[in-house]
């Protein structure tokens, strides 16, 4: 086991957990928020488990997933917009709980948690299928087109999974205000996909043929 990689991964995990908790519970004004703890559980427990699996089975993929330094200028703007969107969404959810602006039935949180876990399972399958799955838009050395499994259905199954994961999070927190704000993630991810495909077409051999074979980007017969 690579100690430096393990230390880096655990440091990033714990700092992310701390930041996420602050974004939720500081605006909420209390730690006594069941939905907040529910979201932390379904988000960070599978994340930790996936990290240990990658550490044992595919440390190189884990190293790629830890790299968030985006080189493409347009993609840097997309990442910035995403960060602002997520921060605002979680802060609003905390404030919604604190001041009880709009209170949703508890079953909404449970249903949204189920949708989130479904998206998480799809995301894990994408990680299993694609060893080149970096968090940045790039063409890696010796990279090849993956066209089997979920990649034989849509060209960007990872982003399709996030469209289940991310809008579900505000509903787990019981915040319809945050959910409406999170819908802005859809045009943001469309911009990222368009930019990513331009990079892949120029730098990845066989990607043009793959686009002809798999016509849809996110959802079959939709887009």
Separation between Cα atoms, residue 10 and residue 12, nearest integer Å: 5
Kind plus residue range of the DSSP H or E element containing 166 = helix 157-172
What is the Rg, in whole angstroms, of the alpha carbon atoms belonging to the chain? 18
Pick the closest to residue 140 from 203, 94, 82, 92 (CA basis). 203
Q: pLDDT by residue (tens digit) across 68-115?
A: 665 555 567 778 888 999 999 999 999 999 999 998 999 999 999 999
The whole-number average pLDDT for the span 130-159 is 82
**DSSP character at residue 218:** S
Distance, in Å, from the CA atom of 185 to the CA atom of 75, rounded to the nearest integer, reads 14
Considering its fold, how many domains does the chain have in total? 1
Instruction: Judge whether 75 lies within some domain.
Output: yes
In a domain? residue 136: yes
> Is 219 a member of any domain?
no
Please check whether residue 38 lies inside any domain of the structure: yes
Asked whether the predicted pLDDT for residue 1 surpasses 90, the reply is no
Residue 220 lies in a domain: no
CATH code for the domain of 135: 1.20.120.1630
In a domain, 84, yes or no: yes
- Which range (45-54, 58-67, 152-161, 200-209) has the least confidence? 58-67
Query: pLDDT band at residue 24, thresholds of 50, 70 and 90?
Result: very high
Percent of the chain, pLDDT > 70?
A: 92
Q: Range of 208's domain?
A: 3-213
| Mean pLDDT across the chain | 90
Structural domain contains residue 126: yes
Within-domain flag for 223: no
């Amino acid at each position: 086991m690579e100690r430096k990689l393990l230390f880096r991964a655990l440091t990033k995990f714990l700092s992310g957990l701390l930041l996420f908790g602050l974004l939720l519970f500081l605006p909420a004004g209390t730690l006594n928020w069941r939905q907040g703890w529910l979201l932390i559980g379904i988000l960070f427990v599978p994340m930790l488990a996936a990290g240990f699996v990658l550490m044992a089975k595919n440390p190189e993929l884990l190293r790629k997933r830890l790299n968030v330094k985006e080189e493409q200028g347009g993609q840097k703007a997309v990442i910035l917009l995403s960060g602002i969107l997520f921060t605002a969404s979680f802060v609003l959810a905390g404030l919604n709980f604190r001041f009880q602006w709009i209170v949703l039935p508890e079953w909404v949180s449970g249903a949204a948690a189920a949708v989130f876990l479904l998206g998480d399972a799809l995301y894990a399958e994408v990680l299993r299928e694609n060893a080149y799955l970096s968090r940045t838009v790039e063409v890696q050395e010796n990279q090849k087109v993956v066209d089997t499994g979920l990649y034989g259905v849509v060209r960007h199954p990872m982003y399709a999974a996030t469209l289940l994961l991310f809008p579900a999070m505000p509903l787990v927190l019981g915040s319809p205000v945050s959910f409406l704000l999170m819908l802005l993630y859809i045009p943001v991810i469309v911009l990222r996909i368009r930019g990513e495909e331009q990079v892949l077409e120029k730098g990845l051999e066989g990607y043009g043929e793959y686009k002809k074979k798999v016509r849809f980007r996110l959802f079959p017969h939709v887009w």
